[in-house]
Structure 1
Amino acid sequence: MSATHAEDSRHHLVVVGAGFGGLEAVHRLAGAPLRITLIDRRNHHLFQPLLYQVATASLATSEIAWPIRHLLRRRREVTTLLATVAGVDKQARRVLLDDGSFLSYDTLVIATGARHAYFGHDDWESFAPGLKTLEDATTIRRRILLAFERAEREADPARRKALLTFVIIGAGPTGVELAGTIAELAHMTLVDEFRSIDTREARVVLIEGGPRVLAAFTEDLSTYAQRSLEKLGVEVELGSPVTECTANGVVYGGKTVPAATIIWAAGVQASPAAEWLGVAADRAGRVQVEADLTAPGNPEIFVIGDTAAVVAPDGSPVPGIAPAAKQQGGHVAQTIRARLAGQSGSSPFRYQHAGSLATIGKRLAVIDFGRIKLRGALAWWIWGLAHIYFLIGVRNRLSVALSWLWIHTRDQRSSRLITQGSASPKPAASMPARTSEGAEL
């Protein structure tokens, strides 16, 4: 801690995590009589709803991520730290960092998000990466593009077929969006670019253990989404959870599908915040917070976003989506301002659901606004405008809009660069091996 901060008597707020919830809380506290320290183990804020478009070569990483320091450059009361939190000492009110140092706080906001969960099969992660970070997206993009490159050189029909098989596990919004976009990439974008293979022969298999895709949507929209995926060439397999996942493919419902590229979109696990605080958590590891989003027994600690299990007044769980995290960040900021003004007590968080959106392909989407439900091209345009609106900065909005317009009119994706790993892998006896870091050998 610097001498300046040691002598600063202002209320000290520490925010762990610069995602939607944490950043919203910081923004809403502009002008408040306090100093803020924002900690994140990455130097950028990520617009996760469009992460799958980086993974499928539609957008560049710089179009959906922004340096945290740049976003807060005019906020002199905010200090940004690139660091990893290792724990919390509630008694001493300290955030413990992995290098052995610590930060003292008066109020703490934990918004550390979640990672993908493999339901007890963590060994599957090296074969089936999930999609939560830019690193995940570039790893998946590399594997998808390398699969086509390897298939172009592969003489054995069975191995070529496996290289041209893409399996997505989990049919929530992320899984549906990935499946539809990969199908378009194979069946439209890449058709004229290879000589030894016909990319239209690629298989895209979407596996869901439940009875339907997009389970959070109404049944009619779910049915529409499935039919639209099947028209794009996606094979939708329902009611059969994956029981085995290896470098050679997957097993589900007694069936074996050889596949070189497997993507996990089936579940999430919260950060270890509940362990740091020693409080109760749900099955996904999310802290079971009080109605005002504070940790049980610790009114000076707020837990929000994917780290928290929040229940709406009607008893339904608040979904782990960006609008919910932003609303929680705003609620926390309002509560902190009230406390600084000397007001006692706090009001419960009230979630206002604005609707559910999911895209299926470049001209297909579904939207559920409650009484109003949309599907098809109109829903796709609304989906696109909504996402562009929430991007940060005019340059990024224009860049993404132009990229989508180019894809919409020309079926071209400009971000098809293999920037990591080896583009010339060594021959393998069976399927190509993968290192734990995602590079392919």
Structure 2
Amino acid sequence: MTEDQTPVQHRIVVVGGGFGGLETVYNLRGVEVAITVVDQRNHHLFQPLLYQVATSTLATSEIAWPIRHLLRRYKNVLTLLGTVEAVDTAAKTVITADGDVIPYDTLVLATGARHAYFGHDDWEPFAPGLKTLEDATTIRRRILTAFEMAEREPDPQKRAQYLTFVIIGGGPTGVEIAGTIADLARDTLKGDFREIDPASARVVLIEGGSRVLGAFKEDMSAYAKMALEKLGVTVHLGNPVTACHADGVEFAGQTLRARTIIWAAGVQASPAAKWLGVPADRAGRVVINPDLTVPGHPEIFVIGDTATVANGGKGTVPGIAPAAKQQGKHIAKTIKARLAGDNAPKPFLYHHAGDLATIGKRAAVTDFGWFKLKGYLAWWLWGLAHIYYLIGVRNRLAVALSWLWISVSGVRSARLITQRDAAEEDKSA
């Protein structure tokens, strides 16, 4: 290289502004690289609290932040709003739906996942899942609209359908949604209606497995079921749903009539495996090497819900936020080592901090292996853990005050019906 030539910076493209993608960028601050972040939305979303937007507890702005704002001090980062449609591994470029061709030396795919209907995508209009802010506001709208329609419905049977809420899937999201809807009906909406008693609403949680919170220890799972039933939630175990339609759901040979159905039963990875032309598991996740790279492509990393990687002898790394953040740090460390001339593969080691889930506004379960807690104290610990990971002092204070106010008064201030969709119009006709 002659003296008048400027060395070309290493080009890193990060697709996805979630926990893993942003953690990768954060840990490359000050490194002489050129980073391009591409996301189909302009905001980073704190997904663990998304269900609280769906159930009128929090506002959208309290759990989402503009990606540009979060990266505004990173002068080596270019942020682009766009949807990736393909990856040319031979040319080392990323292609967007708008026709942009973005070259890379290192590619990080952290594109997350969507809900999966196990081959029944036709169920989605009747049973929306919960992965985006749009999903959350749709579910919130349907929940609140159901009470409004029940208030004006003179037919007792149709009114009962409006006041029946079905949640499919007994993992943390399903348990948290069921408990919060029960609180909403029996506490928050008390006294707001004249023709109906919101407390008469029926909340039903359907889990195809033998217990709720299947990833937790059995005693924690049993406590969660008991806490849900104490809130008035009906829990059905061992019988998966066989059909979803405008009038309700079918399972165990019966039809449960309901106007509001929420899907929390499974996830499907983004099409990253198809972009790369590499093997994927049943959920569409890219099967990657222990160092988080794609087989045959050491320059491509795949993390988070988009990837499946062995966790030593303990199964696979879970698709949760702490895991994605750890993976982002690992990738940044690997990139730094490579820039320094060390190209030896470095296996990723996941450190599981624990499992947490809340049931309503005053109970939760926490399992850190060496330390377990359930009940009201566990709820406080769950709340502190989530507040700690929120971005910005303002948001931490806003969420803490919202939770404290709800715990004391039962009032949720985010009960807004902003728009009705075609599916709701059809069901109310």
- Determine if the TM-score, normalized by the shorter chain, exceeds 0.5: yes
| Aligned counterpart, 1:296 | 295
Measure, in 2, the Cα distance between the counterparts of 1:433 and 1:271: 30
| Aligned counterpart, 1:311 | 310
The residue type paired with residue 346 of structure 1 is P
Secondary structure, aligned partner of 1:433 = helix
**Cα distance, 1:175 vs. partner?**
0.1
Counterparts of residues 246-325 of structure 1 (less than 5 Å): 246-325=245-324
CA contact (8 A) 1:247 1:432 kept: no
Deviations 1:117-170 (A, max 9, x none): 000000000000000000000000000000000000000011000000000000
List structure 1 segments (4+ residues) > 2 angstroms apart after TM superposition. Answer: none
Measure, in 2, the Cα distance between the counterparts of 1:8 and 1:140: 51
| Aligned counterpart, 2:426 | 433
| Aligned counterpart, 2:121 | 122
**Cα distance, 1:101 vs. partner?**
2.3
Matched, 1:111 2:110: yes
The residue type paired with residue 295 of structure 1 is V
Counterparts of residues 353-392 of structure 1 (less than 5 Å): 353-392=352-391
**Cα distance, 1:63 vs. partner?**
0.1
Measure, in 2, the Cα distance between the counterparts of 1:199 and 1:312: 46
| Aligned counterpart, 2:134 | 135
| Aligned counterpart, 2:3 | none
**Cα distance, 1:314 vs. partner?**
1.0
Deviations 1:317-366 (A, max 9, x none): 11110000000000000000100111121210000000000000111000
| Aligned counterpart, 2:28 | 29
Matched, 1:186 2:206: no
Counterparts of residues 66-81 of structure 1 (less than 5 Å): 66-81=65-80
Higher mean displacement: 339-348 or 144-153: 339-348
Decide whether aligned partners of structure 1 residues 432 and 162 sit closer, same or farther in structure 2, where only a CA change above 3 A counts: farther
Give the aligned length: 424
| Aligned counterpart, 1:208 | 207
Counterparts of residues 132-171 of structure 1 (less than 5 Å): 132-171=131-170
Measure, in 2, the Cα distance between the counterparts of 1:81 and 1:199: 45
Measure, in 1, the Cα distance between the counterparts of 2:19 and 2:72: 18
Secondary structure, aligned partner of 2:381 = helix
Secondary structure, aligned partner of 1:284 = coil
| Aligned counterpart, 1:229 | 228
Q: CA RMSD in A?
A: 1.4
Counterparts of residues 25-64 of structure 1 (less than 5 Å): 25-64=24-63
Counterparts of residues 385-400 of structure 1 (less than 5 Å): 385-400=384-399
Secondary structure, aligned partner of 2:268 = strand
Measure, in 1, the Cα distance between the counterparts of 2:283 and 2:88: 23
Secondary structure, aligned partner of 2:38 = strand
Measure, in 2, the Cα distance between the counterparts of 1:215 and 1:264: 17
Measure, in 2, the Cα distance between the counterparts of 1:433 and 1:254: 26
- Segments of structure 2 that go 5 or more residues without pairing to the other structure are 1-5
Decide whether aligned partners of structure 1 residues 432 and 252 sit closer, same or farther in structure 2, where only a CA change above 3 A counts: farther
Measure, in 1, the Cα distance between the counterparts of 2:343 and 2:8: 21
Measure, in 2, the Cα distance between the counterparts of 1:62 and 1:248: 33
Decide whether aligned partners of structure 1 residues 432 and 256 sit closer, same or farther in structure 2, where only a CA change above 3 A counts: farther
Secondary structure, aligned partner of 1:132 = coil
Secondary structure, aligned partner of 1:126 = coil
The residue type paired with residue 339 of structure 2 is L
TM-score (norm 1): 0.95
Measure, in 2, the Cα distance between the counterparts of 1:386 and 1:372: 15
CA contact (8 A) 1:15 1:108 kept: yes
The residue type paired with residue 433 of structure 1 is D
CA contact (8 A) 1:58 1:415 kept: yes
Deviations 1:170-190 (A, max 9, x none): 000000000000000001110
Secondary structure, aligned partner of 1:168 = strand
Secondary structure, aligned partner of 2:65 = strand
Higher mean displacement: 172-181 or 183-192: 183-192
Measure, in 2, the Cα distance between the counterparts of 1:210 and 1:226: 13
Measure, in 2, the Cα distance between the counterparts of 1:399 and 1:87: 40
The residue type paired with residue 195 of structure 1 is R
The residue type paired with residue 74 of structure 2 is R
Secondary structure, aligned partner of 2:210 = coil
- Segments of structure 1 that go 5 or more residues without pairing to the other structure are 1-6, 435-439
**Cα distance, 1:315 vs. partner?**
4.1
| Aligned counterpart, 1:437 | none
Measure, in 1, the Cα distance between the counterparts of 2:98 and 2:65: 26
Counterparts of residues 12-27 of structure 1 (less than 5 Å): 12-27=11-26
Over the matched positions of the two proteins, sequence identity in percent amounts to 69
Deviations 1:379-423 (A, max 9, x none): 00000000000000000000000100110000000000111127x
Decide whether aligned partners of structure 1 residues 82 and 274 sit closer, same or farther in structure 2, where only a CA change above 3 A counts: same
Decide whether aligned partners of structure 1 residues 315 and 382 sit closer, same or farther in structure 2, where only a CA change above 3 A counts: closer
TM-score (norm 2): 0.97
Higher mean displacement: 312-321 or 379-388: 312-321
CA contact (8 A) 1:260 1:432 kept: no
CA contact (8 A) 1:206 1:235 kept: yes
| Aligned counterpart, 1:100 | 99
The residue type paired with residue 418 of structure 2 is T
Measure, in 1, the Cα distance between the counterparts of 2:172 and 2:394: 27
CA contact (8 A) 1:357 1:367 kept: yes
Secondary structure, aligned partner of 2:50 = helix
Secondary structure, aligned partner of 1:37 = strand
CA contact (8 A) 1:47 1:64 kept: yes
The residue type paired with residue 221 of structure 1 is M
| Aligned counterpart, 1:4 | none
| Aligned counterpart, 1:3 | none
CA contact (8 A) 1:95 1:102 kept: yes
| Aligned counterpart, 1:90 | 89
